[in-house]
């Protein structure tokens, strides 16, 4: 297994570690530790692609696992935010995001029957990067107002309502656009199954 693929596997391994720390309310600075783990996992996404391209280490395994690792990481974080009473995120964006991931993954499986591995396109990469930034901003909010116990109710309410929800919905719109682009480009694989 080459280095980029090891980094991709590491990203998947970091997901349960992230989840453990984000739910350890009894531990001081648990959100800060979870944020550091999430950022480290996100950096592996950028790093594995950079190394794979620069050293010509692109593999079918990497093309398959890299976007899957991204999905696992991002969906896990968003699911935590739906469950978190401080963030109180609506489940609707999460449902839209998961639906898109199932549709695109299904299309990729159909393409694999023809021996074609569909790598992430520009819209998919943009969606992933923006959603990862959104998760980091939400984690920064939790670190600021929970770990450091800063009490500014009006500021918290404004940030949660306008900034965090805005970022989540922009991520959702990018998810819909990228899903539509994938389906348009891969419709030939779906049409063959009729």
In the chain, where are the structural domains located?
3-191
Confidence at residue 129, expressed as pLDDT on a 0 to 100 scale: 92
Confidence at residue 193, expressed as pLDDT on a 0 to 100 scale: 60
Q: 45-81 in b/e burial notation, b at 16+ Cβ within 10 A? A: bebbbebbeeeeeeeeebbbbbbbbbbbbbbbbbbbb
Alpha carbon distance 37, 19 (integer Å): 10
**Which residue from 137, 141, 143, 134 is spatially nearest to 156, judged by alpha carbons?**
141
Residue ranges of the chain whose pLDDT lies below 70: 193-194
Model confidence, pTM: 0.91
Q: Which fold has domain 3-191?
A: 1.20.120
- pLDDT tens profile 136-145: 999 999 999 9
């Amino acid at each position: 297994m080459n280095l980029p693929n090891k980094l991709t596997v590491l990203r998947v391994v970091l997901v349960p570690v992230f989840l453990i720390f984000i739910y350890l309310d009894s531990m001081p600075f648990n959100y800060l530790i979870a944020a550091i783990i999430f950022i480290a996992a996100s950096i592996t996404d950028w790093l594995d692609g950079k190394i794979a391209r620069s050293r010509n280490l692109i593999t079918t395994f990497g093309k398959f696992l890299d976007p899957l690792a991204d999905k696992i990481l991002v969906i896990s974080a968003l699911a935590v935010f739906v469950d978190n009473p401080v963030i109180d995120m609506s489940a609707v964006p999460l449902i839209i995001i998961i639906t898109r991931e199932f549709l695109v993954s299904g299309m990729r499986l159909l393409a694999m029957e023809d021996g074609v591995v569909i790598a992430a396109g520009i819209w998919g990469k943009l969606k992933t990067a923006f959603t990862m930034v959104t998760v980091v901003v939400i984690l920064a909010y939790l670190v600021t107002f929970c770990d450091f116990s800063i009490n500014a109710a009006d500021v918290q309410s404004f940030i949660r309502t306008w900034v965090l929800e805005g970022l989540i919905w922009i991520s959702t719109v990018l998810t819909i656009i990228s899903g539509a682009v994938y389906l348009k480009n891969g419709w030939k694989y779906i049409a063959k199954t009729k």
